[in-house]
C-alpha cells in the first residue's frame, strides 16, 4: 500500500485497533483485511452453500477495492467492522418530541449513537416556542434553542467511539415562532460547538422571499404571527457571512425525492447535510476515489463500473454486518436498506484530465460521471434484489421497479477517508495546492496536492519545479505564478479563486443524478458580501439543490485549513 505520512498518522490515531496501552496492534493492511472479512461473511446469509473458496474470493475483492484506495466506506465501518462494537453507520436522525420525557430519551439515544461513532441530526421544530404555556406545570416553555444547548452539553461529555467528538445538526423550520433566536444562536464564539445549525426552508417561504411578501409563523396549526420572508432570508445570509452558519436545507425539495413517503415526512439530515433520513433511520456511506479512475489522461469507465458494482455489494452487506444502537433503528434500516455511494477526488480527477473546475466542460463531465454511477449502482441494486429480495418496505415506496435499496447514492464530504486516500474531499475544488491542516490533537500537517506535484515533475525541469513550489508553498495558489503557462494557471485553480456561481452549479450537476443529497461548502474569499451569499442561497434553490452551506475565509478565529505552508 502507498499511504501518505498524514494518512498513516490518521489511521494510527483513529482507525487501527489498539491494545490497553493505546498502541496500534494492527497494520493498515490488517485493518482492511478485518473490514473485508467482516463484510464478506454476510454472503452466507443469502447463499448458505457458498464455498470457503468463493467467500475468500469475495473478501479478497473487497480488500483490494479498499487497499488500492479505489473505494473506502465511512469511518465507523473502518473503525468498528469485525470488532466488538460493530456499529458501521455514520448517519442517524432521531426525533425530538415536545415533552421533557421524550427530549431526554432522545438525548440518551444520541449518547448511544455518539459512543458508537455515529453522527446525529435533529429537527427541533416540534418543541413549543419560548413563553408558550405548559399545561402540566402551569409554567411557560423555554423554547427549542434552550434544549439545543442541553443536547450540546450532553455531547461534550461523550467522545465518539473514543476517536472523535460527537457531531450533530440542529434544524428548525423557518415558520417556527422562535426562528430569529435560532438563526442567531451561534453569534458568540464557543456557542453550540458540537452542532451545525441549518434553517429548513419551504417552497412557500422561498416564493414569499422572491416577492418580498410576508409568511406565517405557526405551531401545532396555530398562526402566531407573520414575518417578511425576504428579510429573514437576508438575516440568514448575514449570519452565514458572519461565521458560516446557519446553512439552509430545502425541505420540499428533499421530500419530493423521499422514496418512502408512506413511512413519514423527512424533517432532518445527518450532520453534514448529505443524508436526509426519517426519524430513527440510519445509513451506511462509502465513496469511490475518482482520481484512481483516470488512466492515460482519460476516464477508465470499465474500472469505474467494476468499482461501483463491488461497492454496492459491500454497502448492502454492511447493512446486515453491523449492529445498531436501538431496535427502532434496526427495524427501519433493514426495512429500507438505504445505502449512499458517493465520490471523492473529483477535483483531482479534473486536474488529471486537465479540465478547469469552473468550466462548462467540468459540469458536463460531472453529470456524465454521476449519471453513470447512479445508473450502475441502481442496476447493481436490482441484481441484488433478484438474488436476495427487494427492500422490505418497497410496497410503501415510490419505486416502480424491483430494488434492493431504497436509495443508492449520496455525496458525502469524505473528510477523513479522503486523507487516507490522499485525494481531494468529496466534490470540493482543491482548497489550495499546498496547505496546512489541523490534524489530530492539534497537530499541524503540511500537504502538497499530489496530482499537481506529479504533473509538475513530469513536465518541467527540476529548477523550474523548485521555483514554482516556492510560490505555491507560500500562497497555496498559482494565481500569481507567471513562470507557468496560462493554461496551467487556468486548470490548477483552487476553491477561493472559483466564483460562487460555479460552486453552486457543480453541486447542482451532481445532485441531478443523486438519490440523497450532496455535501458541499461554497468556500468564499474574505471580500465576499452578505448579498452575494443571499444570491448563492437563491441560486441553489433554483437549481434543485437540497441544501447549501457557505464559508467565508477569515470569518472564524480558528480554521482547520490554511493556504500555504
From 417, 442, 459, give the residue that closes a domain: 417
Residues 98 and 46 occupy one common structural domain: no
From 220, 238, 269, give the residue that closes a domain: 269
* Pairing, β 547-552 against β 521-524: parallel
Q: Is 252 exposed, middle or buried (CB count within 10 Å of its CB: 0-12, 13-18, 19+)?
A: middle
Residues 124 and 64 occupy one common structural domain: no
Q: Is 523 exposed, middle or buried (CB count within 10 Å of its CB: 0-12, 13-18, 19+)?
A: buried
Closest of 184, 172, 179, 94 to residue 126, by C-alpha: 172
Residues 241 and 149 occupy one common structural domain: yes
Q: What is the pLDDT of residue 564?
A: 59
* 246 within some domain: yes
Q: What DSSP assignment string belongs to 213-277?
A: -EEEEEETTEEEEEEEHHHHHHHHHHHHHHHS--EEEEHHHHHHT-S-GGG----EE-TTSS-EE
* 103 within some domain: yes
* 422 within some domain: no
From 222, 240, 269, give the residue that closes a domain: 269
Residue 96 gets the label, from left (phi > 0), alpha (psi -120 to 50) or beta, of beta
Output the furthest CA–CA distance in the chain (Å, rounded). Answer: 79
Cis, peptide link before residue 246, omega less than 30° from 0: yes
Q: What is the pLDDT of residue 139?
A: 82
Residues 115 and 235 occupy one common structural domain: yes
Whether residue 179 contacts residue 172, with contact meaning beta carbons closer than 8 Å, is answered with: yes
Grid coordinates in use for 514? 443523486
Active site residues: 270, 272, 274
Q: What is the pLDDT of residue 562?
A: 58
| CB-CB neighbours of 184 under 10 Å | 17
Residues 107 and 252 occupy one common structural domain: yes
Residues 499 and 484 occupy one common structural domain: yes
Alpha-carbon span 40 to 43, nearest angstrom: 6
For the chain, the straight-line distance linking the first and the last C-alpha, in angstroms and rounded, comes to 27
* 359 within some domain: yes
Grid coordinates in use for 392? 422490505
What is the sign, positive or negative, of the torsion defined by CA atoms of 200, 206, 207, 208? positive
* 264 within some domain: yes
* 3-class secondary structure per residue, 507-518: HHHHHCCCCCCE
Residues 536 and 442 occupy one common structural domain: yes
Residues 19 and 123 occupy one common structural domain: no
Q: Give the number of domains in the chain.
A: 3
Residue 461 phi, psi (nearest 5): -70, 165
Q: What is the pLDDT of residue 165?
A: 64
Grid coordinates in use for 476? 497555496
**Count of all residues that appear for the chain in the document:** 565
* C-alpha 81, offset from chain centre: 20
Reported pTM: 0.96
Alpha-carbon span 175 to 299, nearest angstrom: 46
What is the sign, positive or negative, of the torsion defined by CA atoms of 95, 97, 102, 103? positive
Residues 437 and 394 occupy one common structural domain: no
Q: What is the pLDDT of residue 117?
A: 83
Alpha-carbon span 343 to 367, nearest angstrom: 13
Residues 114 and 239 occupy one common structural domain: yes
Alpha-carbon span 451 to 458, nearest angstrom: 11
Taking the chain (565 residues) in runs of 10, the rounded mean pLDDT of each run is 91 93 95 98 97 98 98 96 94 96 96 89 97 81 95 82 72 98 93 95 98 96 96 98 97 98 98 97 98 97 98 98 97 98 98 98 98 98 98 97 98 96 97 78 72 96 94 92 94 95 98 98 94 98 98 79 60
Closest of 140, 154, 192 to residue 171, by C-alpha: 192
* Domain of residue 512, residue span: 428-517+525-563
Residues 473 and 495 occupy one common structural domain: yes
Whether residue 422 contacts residue 450, with contact meaning beta carbons closer than 8 Å, is answered with: yes
Q: Report the CATH number at residue 223.
A: 3.20.70.20
Question: Three-class SS of residue 48?
Answer: coil
Residues 378 and 346 occupy one common structural domain: yes
Residue 23 phi, psi (nearest 5): -95, 135
* Pairing, β 434-438 against β 561-563: antiparallel
Alpha-carbon span 260 to 405, nearest angstrom: 11
Amino acid at each position: 500500500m502507498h499511504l501518505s505520512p498524514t494518512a498513516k498518522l490518521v489511521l494510527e490515531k483513529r482507525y487501527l485497533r489498539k491494545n490497553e496501552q493505546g498502541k496500534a496492534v494492527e497494520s493498515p493492511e490488517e485493518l482492511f483485511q478485518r473490514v473485508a472479512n467482516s463484510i464478506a461473511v454476510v454472503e452466507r446469509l443469502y447463499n448458505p452453500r457458498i464455498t470457503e473458496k468463493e467467500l475468500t474470493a469475495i473478501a479478497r475483492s473487497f480488500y483490494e477495492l479498499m487497499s488500492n484506495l479505489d473505494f473506502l466506506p465511512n469511518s465507523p465501518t473502518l473503525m468498528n467492522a469485525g470488532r466488538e462494537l460493530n456499529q458501521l453507520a455514520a448517519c442517524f436522525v432521531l426525533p425530538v418530541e415536545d415533552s421533557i420525557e421524550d427530549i431526554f430519551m432522545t438525548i440518551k439515544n444520541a449518547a448511544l449513537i455518539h459512543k458508537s461513532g455515529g453522527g446525529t441530526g435533529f429537527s427541533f421544530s416540534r418543541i413549543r416556542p419560548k413563553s408558550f404555556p405548559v399545561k402540566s406545570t402551569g409554567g411557560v416553555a423555554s423554547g427549542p434553542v434552550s434544549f439545543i444547548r442541553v443536547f450540546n452539553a450532553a455531547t461534550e461529555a461523550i467522545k465518539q467511539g473514543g476517536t472523535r467528538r460527537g457531531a450533530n445538526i440542529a434544524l428548525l423550520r423557518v415558520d417556527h415562532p422562535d426562528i430569529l433566536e435560532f438563526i442567531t444562536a451561534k453569534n458568540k464564539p464557543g456557542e453550540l460547538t458540537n452542532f451545525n445549525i441549518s434553517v429548513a426552508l419551504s417552497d412557500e417561504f422561498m416564493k414569499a422571499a422572491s416577492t418580498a411578501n410576508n409568511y406565517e409563523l405557526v405551531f401545532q396549526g396555530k398562526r402566531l404571527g407573520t414575518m417578511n420572508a425576504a428579510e429573514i432570508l437576508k438575516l440568514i445570509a448575514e449570519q452565514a457571512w458572519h461565521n458560516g452558519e446557519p446553512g439552509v436545507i430545502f425541505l420540499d425539495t428533499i421530500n419530493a425525492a423521499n422514496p418512502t413517503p408512506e413511512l413519514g415526512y423527512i424533517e432532518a439530515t445527518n450532520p453534514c447535510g448529505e443524508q436526509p433520513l426519517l426519524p430513527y433511520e440510519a445509513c451506511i456511506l462509502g465513496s469511490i476515489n475518482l482520481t484512481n479512475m483516470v488512466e492515460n489522461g482519460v476516464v477508465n469507465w470499465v474500472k469505474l463500473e467494476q468499482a461501483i458494482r463491488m461497492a454496492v455489494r459491500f454497502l448492502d452487506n454492511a447493512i446486515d454486518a453491523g449492529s445498531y444502537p436501538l431496535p427502532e433503528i434496526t427495524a427501519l434500516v433493514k426495512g429500507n436498506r438505504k445505502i449512499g455511494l458517493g465520490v471523492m477526488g473529483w477535483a483531482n480527477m479534473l486536474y488529471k484530465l486537465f479540465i478547469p473546475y469552473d468550466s462548462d466542460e467540468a459540469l458536463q463531465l460531472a453529470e456524465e460521471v454521476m449519471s453513470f454511477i447512479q445508473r450502475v449502482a441502481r442496476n447493481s441494486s436490482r441484481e441484488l434484489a433478484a438474488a436476495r429480495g427487494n427492500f422490505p418496505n418497497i410496497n410503501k415506496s415510490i419505486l416502480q421497479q424491483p430494488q434492493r435499496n431504497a436509495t443508492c447514492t449520496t455525496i458525502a464530504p469524505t473528510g477523513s477517508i479522503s486523507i487516507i486516500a490522499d485525494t481531494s474531499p468529496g466534490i470540493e475544488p482543491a482548497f489550495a495546492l499546498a496547505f496546512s491542516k489541523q490534524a489530530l490533537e492539534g497537530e499541524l500537517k503540511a500537504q502538497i496536492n499530489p496530482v499537481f506535484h506529479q504533473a509538475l515533475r513530469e513536465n518541467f525541469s527540476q529548477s523550474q519545479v523548485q521555483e514554482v513550489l516556492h510560490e505555491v508553498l507560500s500562497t497555496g495558489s498559482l494565481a500569481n505564478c507567471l513562470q507557468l503557462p496560462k493554461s496551467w494557471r487556468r486548470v490548477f485553480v483552487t476553491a477561493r479563486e472559483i466564483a460562487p456561481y460555479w460552486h453552486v452549479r457543480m453541486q447542482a450537476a451532481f445532485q441531478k443524478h443523486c438519490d440523497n443529497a450532496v455535501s458541499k461548502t461554497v468556500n468564499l474569499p474574505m471580500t465576499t458580501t452578505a448579498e452575494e451569499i443571499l444570491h448563492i442561497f437563491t441560486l441553489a434553490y433554483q437549481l434543485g439543490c437540497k441544501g447549501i452551506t457557505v464559508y467565508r475565509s477569515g470569518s472564524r478565529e480558528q480554521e482547520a485549513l490554511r493556504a500555504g505552508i
